[in-house]
Amino acid sequence: MKKLLFALALLMPMAPKAQTLSTATFAGGCFWCLEEAMEKVPGVVSAVSGYTDGRTKSPSYEMVSSGTTGHTEAVEVKFDPAKVSYEKLLDAFWLNHDPTTVDRQFCDSGTQYRPGIYWHDEEQKRLAEASKAKYEKLKEFKQPIVTPIVKATQFWPAEDYHQDYYKKNPVRYKFYSNGCGRYNRLDELWGKLRK
């Protein structure tokens, strides 16, 4: 009987290996737009809109929008490092925000729209700094790159109605992103690199 069970066990398919995911956090203005950009990167499992780098616990959209909590709108990305590298995520981030502004992105202004790369370990910090140096050489614009690279802090997911906004409300989202001048400015900044 033991031999039969052993033989059956050999024939049974092995359970799939658990997927080991990594986390990356980026801020690039309106989290709806950055969420869309990051979710389109192959190897990204999820991109969650939320708030980071602030002083208040469990902030709401209304609180963050007031500019008094210190948070910025951000996206927490879960990705499979076997399918996409952190460097590729950094490339997607750079080409989807305006790195020449401090407290604004496109038509949105205030500290809650400040861009940033939020590193989770020393390797991410090293790669982010190398990526910034690379884009400082590649850029086609004269202004300096001012996007900071800082240590990740607590990330608070935004309310459900903000998640996948570009999918749930495609007409409103398109009206917002085009009306805000997002894509025209990105093309102006990055030109051929965005193609």
DSSP 14: P
For residue 97, pLDDT over 60 is answered with yes
> Among residues 30, 33, 107, 180, which one is catalytic?
30
The verdict on whether 180 is a catalytic residue reads no
- Cα 7 to Cα 14, 115, 170: the distances in Å are 13, 58, 54
DSSP 3: H
For residue 1, pLDDT over 80 is answered with no
Contact partners, residue 41, CB within 8 Å, separation at least 6: 79, 84, 88, 89, 92
> Residue 94 — very low, low, confident or very high, per pLDDT cuts 50/70/90?
very high
Determine the Cα–Cα distance for residues 107 and 125; give it in Å rounded to an integer. 29
Domains, in order of start, for the chain: 22-194 (3.30.1060.10)
| Least confident segment among 17-21, 54-58, 73-77, 138-142 | 17-21
Instruction: Identify the bridge partners of residue 23 per DSSP, sorted by sequence position.
Output: 78
Percent of the chain beyond pLDDT 70?
91
68-98 burial code (b ≥16 CB/10 A, e <16): ebbbbbbbbbebeeeebebeebbbbbbbbbb
Q: State residue 5's pLDDT score.
A: 47
Chain-wide mean pLDDT for the chain? 92
The runs of H, that is alpha helices, within the chain are 2-11, 31-39, 61-65, 86-94, 122-138, 165-168, 170-179, 182-190
Average pLDDT on 43-58 reads: 97
